Amino acid sequence: MDIKEVTVVGAGLMGHGIAEVVALAGLKVNLEDAFPEALEKARASIRNSLSRMVKSGKLTQEQADKVFAGMNFTTDLKGAVSSSDMIIEAVPEIPDLKVKLLREVSQNCRQDAIIASNTSNIRISTLAQEVSNPQRLLGLHFFNPPVVLKLVEVIKSDKTSDEVFEETYQFSKKIGKTPIKVLKDTPGFVVNRINAPESLLFCQILDKGLARPEEVDAFGKSQGLPMGPYELMDYVGIDTVVHSLNYYRDALDKEYGKCSYFNQFMDRKELGLKSGKGFYVWENGKALIPKASPSTVIDLMDVLSVEINESAKIIEEGIAKPADIEIGVKLGMNRPFGPISVAEGLTNAEIKRKLQKLSEKFDTKIFYPTKSIEEGKLRELLSGKVAREKDAPASEKAREVGTAQGSEGEPVSLRKDVENKVAYLILSNTRNNLINSDVLEGIERHLKALWNDKEINVIVLRGEGKNFSAGAQLTQFFSGPMDFAENARLGERTFRLLSEVPKITIAEMKGHVLGGGFELSTWCDIRVSTPDAIIGFPEVTLGLVPGWGGSQRLAKLLGMSRAAYLILTGERFDGKFAHEVGLVSKLFPAESIELETDRLAQDLAVRIAPVSAAMAKKLIYKGSEVSADNGLEMESIAMGLLYGTEDLKEGISAFLQKRKPDYKGR
């Protein structure tokens, strides 16, 4: 259906804004309200908003006049809905009022019209109780202010038809919004539901007398938030928060009712900005917040873990997909990153520990790690490899679970080809093999396991999929400069192991080999690449420097002049150039690079004496750090040590007998 005429019912804060958005998209709009004074206020607000757009050059006066002329303000509900293609309800968040109004709308609109509710929390199935055509009813949740915020949640109830859901999704795009799909109508949908346990946590902090609002807000601001949590609750209205918590108590989990601290503000009618006083006194639209030292009762990780836990529940319950949750929180809460990218940068164990402690401290089950976190499967859940409840047919579920078990969900896996004496460390973290603390931990663990393994002589680092690694996971969460510095140290320590492990290491470069991914390759003994691999250090373009040894390693490999140019310009170059300047030893065609690398690794694994490889690595890397005199001394000592080895005897006998050597590494 081509939606051309829309009626918005309820001309309050949200309704007038939604009507303006739809009119700005060039559609005919009826704005209906039961109260003429509400319509007058809406008319003036829309006029003001359009004038501001003319002043800022977003619209011409002519366009603004045309938008306004396309709007019909009315108190006649029946007349307003009778010919509309879509009706959007935005009356107060009172279930009985909405149920009654939606029944009336459904009785007076066209039978093929779409009916949408802008409810913030109430399940669509609850609102559908009395409408005559529930398959045409769904949720369309705008965010405040609708003219500014891009996000809308499109919410499907168990009765909404697929066709209505899809049409409304496309309509949201047409009016310039970024829709996310809410596949089941849980209370609070996605964004507000993720917020719900946080509201409970902040209520409990006051209930238990653990900190004062200004102390927690000082902490929030020290972490870069534009408003602390209590200032924000004052801003949106404490009554809104309390009503939501009560609704979640009745519809989601009775634990949402366990904190009573906010109720006293309701009794005193201290609702925040709108009443001039809440947690703080408000003057001229600003909260007068007493000076306070940042509280240590919670840290940012606590809050983020609670959000990640609720997001995981939403995915487990089949309510929304990870990508939509990420977009929802970013756009709906105006944040640079959402819970999914934060979770990708943390380990399952870290999140689980945090949640267990919070749950214990506040004696609240809502904070307890959900099933996938409890079972260590958060990563698979986020990547879609864990079967979700009622989300896929049985056969599909089995396949998904099988994949997860096959790869064990590890961001770095170890494959040993004992017959050929080659081991493979395979990066498989996210689509681009981004490197985070889990990846570093995996590399370290596997290298240590291979250290004295006599069955393996060569280690290949390979990226799963098209890329070697596109770099560090920039959304990984760090609590401060020391934490960030320690992460750099961890990377340096881990990568350095590649130059110290007594085996030959080969980096197989393909696709993106950027930042931390490029650094990883510089610590290997040999680099092979496809001609079209995209290589570079973009760090300086992001306000960073190569922090996992790249600034030091590249200068050693290419000399200061070339290293300075490549690091300071952040310029990308290809595998062909890397080969020309000697950074890469061999170029292999993209279609056969794995095969060629396997051949090279297998050849070195049997042809090169392992004791010689181990000694030569030390001489090259350690010997280059000392004076030439000492380096040469190290070399002669190495020769002395090798003299007594079985490998030397075997190497010479095989040469004389014209056969392949069979080295034992001793």
Ligand X SMILES: NC(=O)c1ccc[n+]([C@@H]2O[C@H](COP(=O)([O-])OP(=O)(O)OC[C@H]3O[C@@H](n4cnc5c(N)ncnc54)[C@H](O)[C@@H]3O)[C@@H](O)[C@H]2O)c1
Give the residues lining the site for ligand X (CB under 6 A). Answer: 9-15, 33-35, 38, 90-93, 101, 118-120, 142-144
Q: Which amino acid, one-letter code, is at 580? A: E
Return the number of the residue (116 or 382) whose C-beta is nearest ligand X: 116
Residue 331 Cβ, how far from ligand X at the closest point, in Å? 13
Return the number of the residue (14 or 504) whose C-beta is nearest ligand X: 14
Instruction: Point out the residue whose Cβ comes nearest to ligand X.
Output: 12
Residue 248 Cβ, how far from ligand X at the closest point, in Å? 14
Torsion angle defined by CA atoms of residues 599, 601, 603 and 607, in that order, rounded to the nearest 10 degrees: 180
Return the number of the residue (97 or 639) whose C-beta is nearest ligand X: 97
- Residue 562 to residues 342, 570, 573, 581: CA-CA distances in angstroms? 35, 12, 12, 9
Residue 44 Cβ, how far from ligand X at the closest point, in Å? 13
Residue 66 Cβ, how far from ligand X at the closest point, in Å? 25
Q: What are phi and psi of 305, to 5 degrees?
A: -65, -40
Is-contact 409 379, C-beta < 8 A?
Answer: yes
Is-contact 407 413, C-beta < 8 A?
Answer: yes
Burial class of residue 365 (count of CB atoms within 10 Å of its CB; 0-12, 13-18, 19+): exposed
Please state, in angstroms and rounded to a whole number, the distance separating the CA atoms of residues 434 and 412: 11
Residue 94 Cβ, how far from ligand X at the closest point, in Å? 8
Residue 32 Cβ, how far from ligand X at the closest point, in Å? 6
Burial 137-149 (b: 16+ CB within 10 A, else e): bbbbbbbeebbeb
Return the number of the residue (189 or 202) whose C-beta is nearest ligand X: 189
The count of C-alpha atoms lying within 13 angstroms of the C-alpha of 248, restricted to the half-sphere facing its C-beta, is 24
Return the number of the residue (13 or 210) whose C-beta is nearest ligand X: 13
Residue written as tokens 């150039």? 577
Return the number of the residue (125 or 347) whose C-beta is nearest ligand X: 125
Is-contact 109 135, C-beta < 8 A?
Answer: no
Please state, in angstroms and rounded to a whole number, the distance separating the CA atoms of residues 77 and 91: 13
Phi-psi category of 81—alpha, beta or left, where left has phi over 0 and alpha has psi -120 to 50?
A: alpha
Torsion angle defined by CA atoms of residues 647, 648, 649 and 655, in that order, rounded to the nearest 10 degrees: 100
Phi-psi category of 284—alpha, beta or left, where left has phi over 0 and alpha has psi -120 to 50?
A: left
- Known catalytic residues? 120, 141, 153, 192
Cis upstream peptide for 546 (omega within 30°): no
Residue 198 Cβ, how far from ligand X at the closest point, in Å? 17
- By DSSP bridging, strand 137-142 and strand 422-427 are unpaired
Residue 9 Cβ, how far from ligand X at the closest point, in Å? 5
Please state, in angstroms and rounded to a whole number, the distance separating the CA atoms of residues 647 and 652: 9
Return the number of the residue (73 or 169) whose C-beta is nearest ligand X: 73
Residue 278 Cβ, how far from ligand X at the closest point, in Å? 16
Torsion angle defined by CA atoms of residues 123, 303, 340 and 329, in that order, rounded to the nearest 10 degrees: 50
Please state, in angstroms and rounded to a whole number, the distance separating the CA atoms of residues 284 and 276: 9
Residue 369 Cβ, how far from ligand X at the closest point, in Å? 30
Residue 291 Cβ, how far from ligand X at the closest point, in Å? 30
Return the number of the residue (144 or 260) whose C-beta is nearest ligand X: 144
Return the number of the residue (14 or 206) whose C-beta is nearest ligand X: 14
3-state secondary structure of 447: helix
Please state, in angstroms and rounded to a whole number, the distance separating the CA atoms of residues 524 and 425: 12
User: Which of 464, 590, 580, 585 has the alpha carbon at shortest distance from 533?
Assistant: 590
Please state, in angstroms and rounded to a whole number, the distance separating the CA atoms of residues 128 and 108: 16
Please state, in angstroms and rounded to a whole number, the distance separating the CA atoms of residues 56 and 59: 8
Burial 183-201 (b: 16+ CB within 10 A, else e): bbbbbbbbbbbbbbbbbbb
Please state, in angstroms and rounded to a whole number, the distance separating the CA atoms of residues 125 and 462: 50
Residue 298 CA from chain centroid, whole number = 22
Is-contact 228 221, C-beta < 8 A?
Answer: yes
User: Which of 544, 533, 614, 606 has the alpha carbon at shortest distance from 575?
Assistant: 533
Question: Which residues pair with residue 422 across a beta bridge?
Answer: 417, 458
Return the number of the residue (240 or 428) whose C-beta is nearest ligand X: 240
Residue 233 Cβ, how far from ligand X at the closest point, in Å? 13
Q: In 501-559, which residue ranges form alpha helices assigned H by DSSP?
A: 516-522, 550-558
Q: What are phi and psi of 558, to 5 degrees?
A: -115, -5
What six digits make up the tokens of 527?
């680099």
Is-contact 334 150, C-beta < 8 A?
Answer: no
Return the number of the residue (94 or 542) whose C-beta is nearest ligand X: 94
